[in-house]
């Protein structure tokens, strides 16, 4: 996908009311920054369970932690015990005359399983902590993405101050150059074209970024 191509940036300039060739260079730098942000968050979305489009699945922190415990951590404990040196004779192939399949290096396998167990325990602890902080990944991704979009606009288009916009009672939504620019960029990255970002934008309306 060709994110933030020249056609998109031309439309964004219109939204932000930035005219004239004198601004071409900084708009080019903004384009580069947005492409970097887009690549980063598209990777995050593609590899992290969430309710965003293009996510691999939608699983809550509770579901992920429970899955790790039942499907990885507990089975690993049993398998590690089965691979202890005292149990190696259980894998004897005698008296089979035919050549058995390649016997794995049990010491290496045991060490690798221990590494996986350490990682699984660490991830399980992280998920439980995030759960206690009510930090669901779907909303965390949205919040961090919007923050990085706002930060890029503030850096390269400082003359357009952060704002959630003005409430339009007819359309029942907030309108304005800044929120419309943020929403357009957000949509370009996430493909979530039906989302409203009013609440997330509200936090940037009255303070430094």
* Whole-number Å distance between alpha carbons of 81 and 64: 25
pLDDT value for 205: 66
- Going by C-alpha positions, the residue among 175, 181, 180, 176 that lies closest to residue 153 is 181
Q: What's the CA gap between 48 and 204, in Å, rounded?
A: 26
Q: Which helix (H) or strand (E) holds 173?
A: strand 173-175
Query: For strand 173-175 and strand 166-168, is the pairing parallel, antiparallel, or unpaired?
Result: antiparallel
Asked whether 56 and 82 are in contact (CB, 8 A), the reply is no
pLDDT for the residue 133: 86
Residue 173 pairs in a beta bridge with 168
* pLDDT of 8 over the 90 cut: yes
Spell out the domain ranges in the chain: 6-55+140-202, 61-91+102-132
End-to-end CA distance of the chain: 30
Neighbours of 50 (CB within 10 A): 21
Position 129 pLDDT exceeds 80: yes
Is the dihedral angle over the CA atoms 24, 29, 32, 34 positive or is it negative? negative
* Predicted pLDDT of residue 97: 63
| Cα–Cα dist 86/6, whole Å | 66
Give the model's pLDDT for residue 179.
93
């Amino acid at each position: 996908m060709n994110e933030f191509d020249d056609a998109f940036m031309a439309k964004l300039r219109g939204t932000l009311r930035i005219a004239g060739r004198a601004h071409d260079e900084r708009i080019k730098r903004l384009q580069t920054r947005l492409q970097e942000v887009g690549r980063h968050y598209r990777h995050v979305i593609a590899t992290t369970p969430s309710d965003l489009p293009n996510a691999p699945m939608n699983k809550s922190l509770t579901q992920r932690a429970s899955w790790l415990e039942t499907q990885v951590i507990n089975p690993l404990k049993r398998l590690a015990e089965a691979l202890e040196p005292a149990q190696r004779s259980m894998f004897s192939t005698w008296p089979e005359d035919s050549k058995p399949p390649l016997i794995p290096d049990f010491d290496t396998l045991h060490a690798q399983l221990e590494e996986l167990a350490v990682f699984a325990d660490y991830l399980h602890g992280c998920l439980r902590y995030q759960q206690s902080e009510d930090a669901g990944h779907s909303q965390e991704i949205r919040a961090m993405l919007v923050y990085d979009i706002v930060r890029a606009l503030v850096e390269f288009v400082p003359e357009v101050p952060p704002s959630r916009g003005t409430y339009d009672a007819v359309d029942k939504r907030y309108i304005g150059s800044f929120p419309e620019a943020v929403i357009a960029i957000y949509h370009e990255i996430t493909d979530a074209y039906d989302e409203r970002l009013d609440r997330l934008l509200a936090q940037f309306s009255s303070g430094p970024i």
